[in-house]
Amino acid sequence: MNINDEFVVTIEKLSNLGTGIARIDGQVVFVENACPEDEVKIKITKVNKNFANAKVIEIITPSPHRVKPFCPMHNVCGSCQLQFIDYNYQLALKKQMVEDAMRTIGNIDTPVNNPIPSPEIKKFRHKIQCPVSQTRVSKKILAGYYKPQSHEIVNIKYCPIQPEICDKVIDFIRNKTVEFNISGYNEQKRTGDLRHIVLRHSADNRELLVTLVINNNKITEKLSNFAKTIFETFEKVTGVCINFNSKNTNVILGEKTICVCGRDFIYEKILDKTFKIGASTFFQINPKSAENIFKYVKEEISKHEKASVLDAYAGIATFGIVVNDVAGKVVSVEENKESIEKAKEVLELNNIKNVELHCADTTKYLKSIKKKFDITILDPPRKGCTKEALDETLKHTKEKIIYVSCNPATLARDLKYLREKGCTVENIQPFDMFCHTYHIENVVVINL
């Protein structure tokens, strides 16, 4: 098998990264934009020792699960990898991904429940981060999303997975930059003014916070005037901030943000609690689907009368705040100081008295205490937990661990370790947070 060789194959299944899997003479081939049961002609684009990559050049017999993407930019934009697959079948494929990870990585045979669908499969994305660049000749500003596996920006004027107001604000910024003599960022040369547009939109009251990420360490007069123009033009824009990021990095937001006009947060509602979300606040991009997760965790905790709860890797203590009225005492631990400060404001806003906040690394905090909790909620980043963190969690938990994960692979790895320590996996419940992508959120109930 060589690069540019062509073959006719049938797609067997989907990989954990959303590519189709076929086999040629026993060798695995990962095929872009392919659906299980497709019969396709492919061209090999890369050959490795154990696998090859390919792209579809002709669909001979389409899978019965293929549909027409509702986004006209689907073929060039890298945001919605699975939009050409029927949504119900997307859920079935995501379930299979979780099952595969549990079996092959975790050696776990606990049945995986059917994923809870997203309440909305369009306009569900309420956090938008658009890279900005500028064409060399015409000096046209580009703002949108990257093409798959590249840093080439697709200039998107309409995105059906985000609220319409976001399209309008991005287009306004794109068209007005010339008037204010604001340039787009050149990633290779590290020149230009505007690097990213970051929007936080409230699913509850439709407010919008705009943050302009600039390649500078100070606010110029033109940027200040530009921010004020955005604020004055859109009634639903409650604030415009400037974030400074002049580092040579793929990290979107720099460490410092200044609110130029309005306020630096929006209000969001989850269940019956009100939250304040800033530009850099970690909060789920799909609030309606997140609400299903919080409801599920709350119901699990309510089975234990007034349980003491540890909310680890807490962010702005969303879990701790949501479950406080069915728990006895909640301790939320988060190492990011800004998140803890936001959490304090939210506790005061909701008049919550039984949530205690600690700004600390979870493992270090647990090592510093002797107390045990009835239930621990673990919501770590994609890399999962360290063995040390899991050991400390076991030492300080009496009854159950509720593990919330956005990465089936690291989740399966951690569950395997917990089982080796004597735990049992009671329930695995996927939630579709990121529609039309290969990502899937999971909540696992673990008995000690």
Q: What is the DSSP string of 57-100?
A: EEEEE--TTB---SSTTTTT-SS-TTTTB-HHHHHHHHHHHHHH
Query: Angle of helix 87-104 relative to helix 408-420, nearest 10 degrees?
Result: 40
What does the block give as tokens for 74? 């689907």
Q: Which long-range contacts (CB under 8 A, 24 or more apart) does 184-187 make?
A: 184/132, 184/133, 184/134, 184/141, 184/142, 184/143, 185/131, 185/132, 185/133, 185/134, 185/215, 186/133, 186/134, 187/133, 187/151
Kindly report the number of other CB atoms within 10 A of residue 5's CB atom: 13
What does the block give as tokens for 262? 């309005």
Rounded CA-CA distance 356/327 in Å is: 12
**Beta strands at 424-431 and 307-312: parallel, antiparallel or unpaired:** unpaired
In what helix (H) or strand (E) does residue 288 lie, and over which residues does it extend? Answer: helix 287-302
List the catalytic residues: 406
Distances (CA, A) of 49 to 2, 126, 429, 446: 12, 41, 36, 39
In 201-285, alpha helices (H): 221-233
Three-state secondary structure call for residue 351: coil
Rounded CA-CA distance 317/322 in Å is: 9
Query: Strand (E) positions, 202-316?
Result: 208-214, 237-244, 256-262, 266-270, 273-277, 307-312
User: Would you say 60 and 80 are in contact if contact means Cβ atoms under 8 Å apart?
Assistant: no
Interior CA angle at 182 toward 178 and 185, to 5°?
115
Which of left, alpha, beta for 18 (phi over 0: left; psi -120 to 50: alpha)?
A: left
Rounded CA-CA distance 372/398 in Å is: 6
